[in-house]
Structures are given as C-alpha cells and as structure tokens.
Structure 1
Amino acid sequence: MREKMYARGGIFSVTSRILVIDLLTSLLNPETLTGVMVLHAERVVATSLEAFILRIYRQRNKVGFLKAFSDNPEPFTTGFSPLATMIRNLFLRKPSLWPRFHLTVAQSLEGQEKAEVIELEIPMTDAMRDIQNAVLECVEVSMRELRKANTGLEMDDWNVDSALHKNFDVTVRRQLDPVWHRVSWRTKQIVNDLTVLRGILQYVLNYDAVSLRRYLETVLAAHAPPPGSNRQSQSPWLFLDAAHTIFETAKRRVYTGVGNDEGVQRGLPDGLRPVLEEQPKWAHLAEILEEIERDTYFNPPIRDDSNGAILVMCGDESTCRQLKEYLQTMHVRPENLEEGEGEQEDGPGARPSAAYMMRRKLRNYLKWKKDFAKVSASLFAENQKALKGSADFQRGSEAYRGKAPPNKRRRVRGGSIAASAPSRTADGSIQITEDQAPHVTELLAEVQPTETETKQKYEIAADPLEDMEDYYELYEINDLVIVHPYDGDMDEHILEELKPKYIIMYEPDAAFPRRVEVYRSSHSNRNVRVFLMFYAGSVEEQRYLSAVRKEKDAFAKLIKEKGTMSVTLTLDGKGAEEPQEKFLRTINTRIAGGGRLAATAEPPRVVVDVREFRSSLPSLLHGRNVVVVPCMLTVGDYILTPNICVERKSVKDLISSFKDGRLYNQVETMQLYYKNPMLLIEFDQNKSFTLEPFADMSGSVTSHTDLQSRLVLLTLAFPRLRIIWSSNPYQTAEIFEELKKNQDEPDPIKTVSIGLADGEDPADQTYNQTPLEMLRAVPGVNAKSAGALVLEVESIVELSNMEEEEVSALIGVEAGRQVNKFFNRSVFNE
C-alpha cells in the first residue's frame, strides 16, 4: 500500500523507522524524491535514524533539496563546535539564524499593531515565601555536598541559578553517568533528592495548600527509614532546619493546632482549626475575568474577526483541573464560616472565594489520612514481627529473593507512616510526630458538608447524560472560558481555532508570547489582549527570565560560530570512506607466501531484523559501507554470516528477558539453527560499562538471582553460546566487521525462512504483531492454530463474530469451543 502511495507522489509525513526501512528495501526510491524537510533538527545526532535517512538520501540523490528546522537554539550551543557538528549530521552546507532581534524579524512583527500585553506581578504569601526559601536552602546544601564528593567533575554550572532551569537534572546526570558505578551511594541519593526538591519548588506555586501538604507527606513516606536503620541511610536534606520549616509551614497553611503549651511541645495539640490558605493567583484570575466582563459590557469592542472567547493557558493538566474546579465553585459560599455564618451567596455578585473547593479538598485529605493510619499500623506490626524472628528470617530470606524482603518498608504513594513534619529531639535526631486520630476526627467533623453544600455538589457534578435532551445545547463561542495547558507547536492550532480576544497566561512560558506575536501579525483584523501572571520574587519569575537570557546567549554564540565556521566542500554521505567501493575487500593472508588470494567485489552484507531499527547500530553499520538488509527475522536480530547469528540486548532488555524467560527460548532457537550463536550485551554510550549490582559469588551460584549469576547459568546451559560485551554501538560496529572478515555473506531469503514451520510462507511474517499477540492470548489458541486462523480470518473482530462450528472447522472442536466461549462470555452473568 505504501509503495502505491509513493508511486502516486505528493507530500508525505512518515515516521523515521518506517521511512528508513522503505528506503533500504527500495519501496521508496531516493532518486524520485524532490526534497526532504526535517522538523526538530536539534534532536538529530550522528547515531539517530534521521541522520541515517539523510545519509541514504544524499548518497543516491545529489540534486534534491534538504531543509531542517528548529525553534530551540540551546542544544546547538553545547559541546565543541556544536553548530558545525549538527550541520554535518544533517548533510547541510549553510545555516540560517532568525532570532527575535533580527532586523527582518523585528520589522515583520512590529510592522503591524502589537498585541496588548498586561503584566501582573502577584506577591506570594509569607508562608509560600518561607517554603520557597527553605527549599532553595536545601538545594544549595545538596549541591555543596555533590561538589565536595565529586571533585573531579566539571561543576562550574552547578549553582542555584542553574538548578532552576528545567534541564538541570539531565545535565547533572549526564556528567555523572560515565562514572555512575563508581560514585558513592550518598551521591546517588543526593542526585535523586535534587529532583524531589525541584519538584517541591514547582508545586509550591502550582498546587493548592491541601494538595501540597499531601504531596509532602508522600515525600516523607518515601524517605522515611525502615525499622532498624541508622541515620546515615537517610536523605541529608531531611536533617536540615530548612526541612522542618518546609513541612511545618505547609501544615500551617492547611490547619493549625490550638491548645496548651505542654500539648504542643509533645506534638499532641488539643484541637485542630482549618486555615486553608488560598493561592494568590486565584483571586487575581477572578478579578481579570470580572474586568473582561465589565469592559465588554460597558465598552463594547469594535467588531473584528476575533471571537470573544477567553483562553487561559497553564503549565500542565493538574493546574488546568484545579482552575476549572475553582472557576466552577468560586461563587459558592459555604455556610458555617466564621464571617457571616449562616449566609449563602451565590451568583455573579458574590465575592470570589475558594473556600468551598478547599473545604472539599480538606475533607478528602482527612479521609485519606485516616485510612492511611490503619495501613501504617499494620505495616509496623509486620515489620516488628519480621525483625523479632531472626532464625525464621534467615530461613525465609531465600524465599524472598528477587522481591522486597519482609522487613523492607513498603513505599505507599500518597501517604506517610508519620503524617506530620519531622521535628528535632534534644540529641538532634529526627523524630516524626503523628497527628492524633481523635483530633483528625474532630477536624473532619468540623468541615463536614452542610445540606446546602451537599446539594450544590450534586448540582455541579451532575451526570451530563442524565436528561440529556432537556439540557443539551451548543455554547456560544463568545461565552466560553477555555483552560488549556501549553502544548508546544500545537499552541498555534489552538489560537487559529479559537480566535481568542483575551489570553490569560496563568504561568509564564518563554515560547508562547512568540506564538501570540506571530498569530497577531498574521491576522491584522484580530485584536488580542494578553494578561501575563507571575509571582514576584519567585522561582517562576527567575526561571522565565533565565530561559529568555539563555535563548539570547545561545543565539549570540551561534552567530559567533557561524562567522568563524569553516566551509565543507564535499558531502557525499559516505563518511570517512571514499565514494568508490574498494574492489579487493578480503585477502586471505594465512596462506604462506600469499600465493592464493581470495578477493571479492561483493560489499559486506548484514541481515537485520526490522524491529532493530529502533537502535543506532544499523545506522553505524551502514556508515561503515556495510549493506544493511532489513527483514522480518524469526531467529536472531543480526545475521552476520551463514553461521553467525547475534541476539542484541541492552542492559534493560537483558534484565526483562531473564525475568520472563524469553532469552532462554531465543538462545535455544539460535543454537538449533546456527553453528555460532552469540549474545550481544550492548551498553549505552557515555554510561557506566558495568552490570549493577555485582553479587557476592562466594556462595552457590544457583542461590543468586542477580544478573551476573543468571549469565553464568545461561552459559552453563548453552556451552556453544558466545557473549559479546560492547560499551557502545560504535564498538559493536567494529566487532561485527572483525567477525565478518574472511567469511561468506548471509543469504537474506534463507535467513528469513529459518525458524518457520514447514510450508509456511515467509511473507506471512509481515503481519501486524499486535493483533497476533492478542490472538495468541485467547484461550484455546496455540502457535499452530494461530497460523491457521491468520490465513483464514481477516481480523479479530471477524473471529469474535464467527459461530462455534466455523471456528472448530479451522482449529478443532475443543479449541473452537474455548475460543467461542471466550468471545461470547457475558461480563454481567453471575
């Protein structure tokens, strides 16, 4: 079907994996292509599929155009001569840079009437500022510990300002990856802690007070020690005074304890009073909506091509859900509040408030906390019981091999064994205090929904399918408030589709204002007013300013490199090899005197399974002038010679293959059909070249279930199996070249037929694998009957609608009965 589509011509948008296979199998002739356009050029590296496609295209098509686009300049500024490297990967000659401050760009965007932008600098509450400062202090201490423990690394950019940037985690991990197996356990823990702390920084500004408190209890549960552990095994930041500030301040934003001093000192407050601090942005958002409504009513705008819709842009889906709930309930007034108790205001005249939403969140939180207390009690009981019986524990340790041991504290998401903040004892150690169940029950009773709230709840959460005909209608686009997350390139489609007159940027984003600028300049008859909201003096503001500054610096570096970059004169896509192929490829020098020479003009060839094109190895083999033949292989991943079959495994895939037993079956099949079966264990580039962890091999090999022991058992079970260790795909390509020296070339047709049943057509292997896996999971279907069903039945839908007699005629009476029973079983019967 794709071959016919290619023959008709046109514009095609194709995934990289499909396109590279079509080019190698000549379904698509590169010489017939008018040109190729590459999006997101910053993602193209030398080992990527896109670079592989462009190399094939340029080898066989010298006249077609080639364009690459990117709107992210920062990846082009890291490393040595990054722009020249990227141009070489893309087989281009000339880069064009179009920053915002380019004269042509500025004149184009500023020639039309600009979009009106109103910046709203919103002050944070004192509690939010205290939490933010405390988290930044924890980040600074953690980075100081990292620098102290890893003095041999380049750490000039490891500062608090860089920690605010979204790519900081990736940068730190990239520098530590090559020595990850040599860094201390404490360093690994601090790296993970940095990710947690950066998340807390973000959630302080985005989450409501109750959700933040719940998340912090989840963090505390994940970092809490199992019984019997010592202080050295805990995350260092939990022992700081700043950590105490984080947890205590977050708690005070939700509720406070009121009682005598003695009770407070013991962590047992007499009573709990809800505080439910609101996010400052909520009230300002309500004011903006009210201002828009008032302005539209008293000063009707001149009619233009815009709609009256209001578009609210947020950072993620969770913030969108929060704002939708707030906008739905901000005019609902709970009854038993302190001011105006017994009053109930509802409607546009009511002062916007999140009290109703926050009380509902607090009720859900307290119910969750109450249920978790039972879980924590049972966990402690299990742990203590497991710790006491040492003899039973020793005997049972073998049974728990490969899973969590019984004394290992389970991590329960959304809860904490100690549901409160850590506090300090006299000796400086951390003590976790638990809110007492009676006081939780008391607070829960205090915020129980009133009759009016319950009624209002059912009105808000009414089933839209109930009485649909009475309530179904189309909304006017001018009356809509659309809350949507930032979605990269798709933001332009949202603007074109909605044509909003008002845009509220609830969270700042460096790229979105540019898209609004382009949208406004492209449509001179559409007026746009933009409200930009940000917390003053927050990491949100600092991150936004840092992103803008980094973008400007990146363009400045690119302009400088472009001015000094050397011009590449020849680009033939062949890499280091000469365009003409070498005639004498293989010379057998083992014969004394060299009297007999074995020479061949046939280029080296490797048969590759089509599923292996997710990796970079086929691209590197092709770069070494090896002919890559993609086929649907039943046995092995790479066929180097008629006798050498290679099964490639990354470390992650190797572990999963051992767990489900798939690797044993694959090696057994390779050994059955090939004289030299090989297992290739390929590590990632720039990562530690080691298997983790290395178990103590002093005991019996069979008693261990770690990766090293399983490899030993695999070689004992299959003595002819050879294991290739490769630190990266480049080394793998060199190893394959060495293995192919003085060897015959594989026959693609023969390799495809290996492993198939007698009379089975190799073309049948090109069926979609997902339906085949679903079919094999149906009761009564085995490997043989699955083949019969694939040949006779068009789809699983057709199989499910067939009568029992029809299925039995294909695969047998008993199997047909099981298949029919499976598809016709009622899920509602008892």
Structure 2
Amino acid sequence: MDTELIICTARERERYTLLKLLEQKKPNFIVLYTMSLQTLRQIEIYRSTHSKRHLQVYWLQYRESTEESRYLESINRETLSFEKLIREQGTLVIARNFNVEREEAPRLKLKGSTRDGGGASRQLFEDPRDQMDENAERPKIIVDMREFNSELPTILYTKGYNVIATTIEIGDYILSPEIAIERKALDDLTQSLQSGRVFKQIEQMLEFYDCAVLLIESNRKFETKIVNGGPFQGELSRHCREIRAIFCSLIRTNPKMRCVWAISPASSAEFFSELKLNAPEPDVAKAVSLKSNQVESQEEGSEESAGQKKKGKQWKPNSTVVRTLTQNFGLKTQEVHNLFEKSSIKTLADLFSSDVSSSLLSEYIPSTKAELIKTVSSFDFRKK
C-alpha cells in the first residue's frame, strides 16, 4: 500500500482550503508542526462529519514554550467569547407569539317568551354567548394595581372581562357597587392575621359594600412548600393554633363577611363569573374616592358629608370602641362617629355613666339602641 505525504501551510485567510484538501485526500494521520486553534477546529469539523473514518491527529510543541502560551491564550479568548455570546443571547429581545384570544364573558339576559299571547308576559333567563351582540360592551371589573403580581387579573381578561386597573384603598376587586373582594394568598393571610390588618380591611369593606368577600387563594407552589409554619396546611404547632384562633375570631367578629377558599386562580375566576352574572357595573370614580382613613356616608350629596370634607381632619374615636359598639349593640359605624363627635361623650366610661340618659342618646342614635345601651349600663350583674 502506497503512503502519500502531503505538506501544506494553514493560513487564516484561507479557512476553507484545509477543509477542501481534507475532503479530497481523506488522510488517516495529520501532524501539526505549528499549533493553530483555527486549524484544530477545522479538523474537528471534518472528523465530526466523517465519524466512520479513522483519523489521528498529532502536533509538535515544546513544553512551556512561547507557542504553548500563545495556544493557551487563544483557548482562553475563545472561552470568553462564548461566555459573552451566551450573555448577549440571554438579553436579546425575541419576538414571541402570545395567545390573545378572549372568551365571551357569561351573562344572563332577560327575554320575553313568545308563548304568552295577550296574557301577563313572562321572563326567561338564558346564556346568550352565541347570540350576544358584537358591539355589546364587556363586563367590567375594577382591580387594584398591586394585584397584577398575581395571575388572577390575566385570567379574568382572557375570560372576557374588561379589567380596569386603578389604585383603590378598600378592597382588591370591585365587581359591582355592592360587591367587593379582598384576595389573600396563604402567606399574606398569615401575616395579615398577625398584624391585625385584615380586621381593618374587612371592617372598611363592610362599611361601604353590602357584600364583602374574603377570598383565600392557594396555588401550586403551596402544595410542596410550607408557608409561614403552615397554619392552614394542617400543622399542629402552637404558632399555627394561634393563627387559626385569630382567623376564627375574624369570622365571629364579622358575621356579615363571606369567606371563600379557592384552590387556584382559575377557580377564583370561575367564582368571580358567578358573582358577576347580571350584576350592575361598578363605578370607578366611587371606588377610587373611598379612602381607608376616613368614614364617609354612603348617601351621595348629603350636606353632612360635604361639610366634613371641607373641615379636613377631625377627631375620631378609637377603632376598638367603634368595633365594640357595632358588634355588641348593632350600631353602624356612622352612628358611632356621630355620637362621639357631636355629643359630650368621648369614652366608653362616659357612655355607660349614670348621668347619660336614654333621651340624650336618642338624639344621635336610634331610640331602641339607646335603650339597650342604657339597660346594659344600669343592669346589676351581681344578681344571680
């Protein structure tokens, strides 16, 4: 078998000459006298494309020589170049296609029956998703700006609702003029119960909305992760028992509050759809105007509320006193504020004093509630 020896020079400007020569001669052995990283990479390309061919590569080089240092430096530059390329690729803006298709929000529509002839007209309910007018406005839901860290606003948008993002201080989601929802994740609920913030939030929602809902939402990340000691994940430690006791106190002190548990944002959106059926649209201006640091009358245009706004900050009774009178004696928050602001009564001791008559209390609160307070204040609890 004849052996052919080929001597060639590898130049950087002739990068494809070596590949062409390798394809023509199909060598079995290659000896590199001067090591070049570019030449080595071209040989690697040829070997990877012809994996079945036997090819051995040798190169001649002095140890700790200038040529070795130059070769190692070229490898280092190549490594740094690839790292820079990976970093730049990670920051590139890549066009992505998002699914922007929206469903039709479920709505109930009144429709007259065609079977009634001349008699009293009946009303039938139907779900007109297929017959809904294309120009009809989609239902609106007011969402607090801080809620966009969760998935729920996006799911509501895809389900066909117009999500109105704004900053509201009372409630997280406003579905109608009567329905407000405060959403709490498991970790946020535990912290709110410890700080007492959720008590104030529920009390404010009950003041301005007829239907106040506390939505407790779980998520997939909570399935394998213990959140804040796991008070709502079956843990039996002392800390968890105390948190659950505070939660029970929240439910007992606010009997008008609705508490709903949801296993995911998708189930929360389904619950919103049921509450939103045939409900009037929320008023954005009213939702934004409600502030957590003031108590306003729900009747718009009243002279008293207008006068209070002009006066600015006023003295307010202790929140504990307000909660005691509203929960135990059935007073409204506005009635408690009128009693303490417009009369000489400033504390509970003044209220239950023997000098205060029921007729004086009747000037500021309903007479039945005034008589109840007077009966309790004059009752002798020492009797058996």
Q: Into which bin does the TM-score normalised by the smaller protein fall?
A: 0.3 to 0.5
Larger RCO of the pair (alpha carbons < 8 Å, separation 6+): 1
Q: Which has the larger radius of gyration?
A: 2
What is the TM-score with the length of structure 1 in the denominator?
Answer: 0.22
